[in-house]
Structure formats: C-alpha cells, structure tokens
Amino acid sequence: DAAPAVLPSMLICDFGDLRSEVAKLVDAGTKVLHLDVMDGHFVPNLTYGMPIIEGLRRHTDLPLDVHLMISDPLKYARPMVEAGADMLTFHVEAVEDAVHTAREIKKLGVGVGVALNPDTAIRDLDSCLDEVDMVLVMSVNAGFGGQSFNPVALDKLKLLRDSHPDLLLEIDGGINEDTIGRARAAGCDLFVVGSGIFRADDYGVAISELDAAIAA
Ligand code: DX5
Ligand code: ZN
C-alpha cells in the first residue's frame, strides 16, 4: 500500500514566478508535483509543454507527475521524458490503443498512468490495467481547475481498489478538505489538489489540513 500523498497541481499558480512557487511547495512538504499539460484539442484549454517541464526540472528534484490532456500522447512522450517527466499519464479517451500507448511510454523508462474522465466507464480500462503503474480517476472533466467534485469517481476507485489491490490510484478534480477523506476511504493513494492549495494564503497550512483529513 503506497503512503498517501497530496500532489499540488501546477495549473492555478503564478507562472511568472514558478521558482518561488516550487520553493513554497517544497517548504510545505510537497513530495511530488502534478503538471497539467493541455493542448486546446483534447480539452478546450491550453497550458504548457516541454519548456516549462524542463524549467521546473532545473529548479527541483521532486518527481514530476505529468498529466497529459492531449490528443496524441505518443507524439510528445519522448520529449516530455527528455524534459524531465518521471511519470506520464495519458487519457484513455484520447487513444485508439491504450495497451500500445502504455507499452510505448513504459519503454521510455518512466512510470505510466492511464486517466479516465467522469463519463468514461472503468471497463474501458480493462485491456490496459496490467500495463500501467497508475490509474488517474478524474473527479471533474479534464480541462479546468476549480470545478466541483463528481462522486462517480468514488465508485470507480472502490472497484479498482477491490480488483487491483497493488495498483497506484490517483484522483484529480475538486479535492478539498471535505472530499479528500472520501477518496481515501475509497482506496485512493494520491490526491491532486489545485485550487485547494493555490487559493489558500498559506500552502503549508492548506497541505497540513489536507494531510490531516486523509488521516482522519
Ligand atoms: C483539471 C486538472 C487538475 C486541476 C485540479 O483538468 O487535471 O489537475 O488542476 O484543480 P482543482 O483541484 O481546482 O479541481
Ligand atoms: Zn491534472
């Protein structure tokens, strides 16, 4: 069983001062950074790609968990790894062949995750579950921070946890002090938090409160 952890999502943050954002997160006890890559095609929003990942890589040794909300994950997988990604998670909705996608990412020597949106059934993951290190269960539709939590994610987490006791499970979207405990109870290991941290005055206080809610 993996130790539970809160992963700050670099989406609603100060992109003009990423170095101090990372320093504040490190001071707050962050162990892994979650990076939201969007292409304006798979999702109707556009964020960043390899240059930002490479820039973050120069400022921190923290593992970089890269959430690819893009239409063609294999086109960018190798450049993302060369930029410093440690884990690449692709969306099952984005690809024709999830098994092939997972195996090709694995060959690059990084962890591989598969993500699914709230409307996607977990049976769509059946073929690739044995090929991935992690499943990212979305509790909002991928694309934007600050949306409200969809509890359909909890049922998916429970089913995945029961069928795959050793699989790493991550949740992303609308995670706050109220929802994080429910996700933990459903078997989740990694909790991605955007607005719950970046809209707080003190990241350290926000993260300790989330940690406490996981443990409760
Ligand atoms: C949404 C992103 C999330 C997002 C979460 O598409 O994948 O990582 O930043 O933000 P909150 O915690 O505000 O829902
Ligand atoms: Zn994300």
Question: Is residue 4 within 8 Å of residue 184, measured between CB atoms?
Answer: yes
**Count of other CB atoms within 10 angstroms of residue 14:** 12
Å from CA of 154 to ligand 1 middle: 16
Å from CA of 216 to ligand 2 middle: 25
Tokens of 31: 């162990």
pLDDT above 90 as % of the chain: 99
pLDDT at residue 1 in the model: 61
Q: Give me the half-sphere count of Cα atoms (radius 13 Å) on the Cβ side of residue 94.
A: 25
At position 120, the amino acid (one-letter code) is T
CA distances from 28 to 8, 46, 111, 133, 177 (A): 10, 28, 25, 27, 16
Confidence of residue 139 (pLDDT cuts 50, 70, 90): very high
pLDDT of 142 above 80: yes
What mean pLDDT is predicted for residues 32-42? Answer: 98
CA angle 85, 209, 192 (to 5 degrees): 25
Counting from 1 in the atom list of ligand 1, the atom nearest the Cα of 147 is 14
The residue whose CA has the least distance to atom 8 of ligand 1 is 9
What mean pLDDT is predicted for residues 14-26? Answer: 97
Indicate the domain borders of the chain: 5-215
pLDDT at residue 52 in the model: 98
Residues with a catalytic annotation lie at 36, 172
pLDDT tens readout for residues 196-209: 999 999 999 999 99
Q: What is the ipTM of this complex?
A: 0.98
Å from CA of 9 to ligand 2 middle: 6
Give the binding-site residues of ligand 1, using a 6 Å CB cut-off: 9, 11, 34, 36, 67, 140, 142-147, 172-175, 192-196
d(CA 75, CA 42): 14
What mean pLDDT is predicted for residues 137-153? Answer: 98
pLDDT at residue 2 in the model: 79
**Which fold would CATH assign to domain 5-215?**
TIM Barrel (3.20.20)
Binding residues: 9, 34, 36, 67, 143-146, 172-174, 194-195
pLDDT at residue 173 in the model: 98
**Best CA proximity match to 1, nearest among 188, 136, 138, 147:** 188
CA distances from 17 to 7, 23, 52 (A): 19, 10, 12
Looking at the CA of 45, which ligand is closest?
Answer: 1
Confidence of residue 216 (pLDDT cuts 50, 70, 90): confident
Confidence of residue 182 (pLDDT cuts 50, 70, 90): very high
Looking at the CA of 12, which ligand is closest?
Answer: 1
Question: Is residue 80 within 8 Å of residue 67, measured between CB atoms?
Answer: no
pLDDT of 16 above 70: yes
What mean pLDDT is predicted for residues 133-149? Answer: 98
What mean pLDDT is predicted for residues 44-65? Answer: 98
**Best CA proximity match to 206, nearest among 18, 13, 38:** 13
pLDDT tens readout for residues 82-127: 999 999 999 999 999 999 999 999 999 999 999 999 999 999 999 9
